[in-house]
Structure 1
């Protein structure tokens, strides 16, 4: 093996934890109690709208507006008609989200192990180019990563085979020489395997860590 590709959100970066902390703080700021039902609705809406972004139906900013149009009624708050007003409201959540960005404790040690093995290191993530690179810089992992490929920059998203192949090309390796690790069974494991890569599933809910997979 010559290279390893990691997923970012919920693999190296604790998206779910950061997003929940951000949501709770933001909602409290709006004068609303963040119940478990409210949190669950937020993540269900996020999955739906972000999926529409990945399919090309919405822009990245459009999926943010989509989330608010569906979520503000949950809070019994009016939905502004103007995009600019929606963007301003969403910025309140984004500020809290950025303030809570953090890597998993095993992320940097895993990257250091990969580096010590002489492997090239890539990140393949379904997301916005600017935001995903900002996450890696903020959580202190960017210096250990050789290549970052986002669905926005590639024009396709996981599990499309082109995402894995183009990331391998950027790393200077073939799929057969490359391992993919991620938390999403379909996008990070089955998709990678179908594209000719070796792949391992990270199951944090079962107590698994990245170091267990290296």
Structure 2
């Protein structure tokens, strides 16, 4: 645990805003590993090698990422229509291999999403930290981008809803991080002012820079321990590598 902004004094909050994916929920399998497993499962039925199918999926995905890289509207669609965009990637990959098969493409996306669910788990100490916050009567908000159906399913699967006074999901509130309006809405629902709350997130642009626009004290969850790059312009107020460190911050 370390302070990054030496000039800013930390004060005990009345509430906390948490990101979900990458903070409270982690995954034990990367997207590439999930697609590789899908390729191994479906390649025989398509009369392909697993390697050829996986490489086609990777090429299609990389091409798709380049297409949306500088298009905010397409990035929004990517978050809000995940099944449709994944299906397009798979169909393009199959077409490149001369294996046009709509039903198989749909099955592949379903298989991929099941793998993502299977390999998702609560971050170490996540529930302990939430319980600690509740014991201290702190107001809590969950602030997450993405499709409401997908995000609500994750929340239900991991029993997160009961811990939070407010849940703000991009599709439901009509605005996404890093737009300051979503943080302001969270504060309003918690009946707090910005100086009374902290934001905990893993994405320096969406979570940290976005929250700083409304004056929240920010804590960057660096689970990998990679640290900040020298080129990064975003300066979180604090950095933690384990969620349990939040308990120490709240009692310091």
Which of 62, 65, 80 aligns to 1:60? It is 80
Counterparts in 2 of 1:78 and 1:184: CA distance versus 1, 3 Å: farther
User: How far did residue 185 of structure 1 move?
Assistant: 0.6
CA distance in 2, matches of 1:179, 1:29: 44
Verify the 8 A CA contact 1:4 1:122 in the aligned structure 2.
yes
Verify the 8 A CA contact 1:49 1:64 in the aligned structure 2.
no
User: How far did residue 175 of structure 1 move?
Assistant: 1.8
* Secondary structure in structure 2 of the residue aligned to 1:210: coil
TM-score norm. by structure 1 comes to 0.79
1:211 paired residue number: 244
Structure 2 residues without counterparts, runs of 5 or longer:
1-12, 44-49, 227-240
Structure 1 residues without counterparts, runs of 5 or longer:
none
Choose 1 or 2 for highest CA Rg: 2
* Secondary structure in structure 1 of the residue aligned to 2:154: helix
1:141 paired residue number: 160
* Secondary structure in structure 2 of the residue aligned to 1:181: strand
Counterparts in 2 of 1:79 and 1:103: CA distance versus 1, 3 Å: farther
Which of 132, 137, 141 aligns to 1:113? It is 132
2:16 paired residue number: 4
CA distance in 1, matches of 2:139, 2:24: 16
Counterparts in 2 of 1:64-213, with a 5 A limit?
64-71=83-90, 73=92, 77-78=97-98, 87-206=106-225, 208-213=241-246
CA distance in 2, matches of 1:78, 1:13: 38
Map Cα deviations across residues 181-204 of structure 1 (whole Å, 9 max, x no partner): 010011111110111211111111
Verify the 8 A CA contact 2:39 2:54 in the aligned structure 1.
no
Cα root mean square deviation, aligned: 3.5
User: How far did residue 147 of structure 1 move?
Assistant: 1.5
Counterparts in 2 of 1:195 and 1:97: CA distance versus 1, 3 Å: same
Verify the 8 A CA contact 2:59 2:93 in the aligned structure 1.
no
Verify the 8 A CA contact 1:101 1:139 in the aligned structure 2.
no
User: How far did residue 67 of structure 1 move?
Assistant: 3.4
Verify the 8 A CA contact 2:20 2:142 in the aligned structure 1.
yes
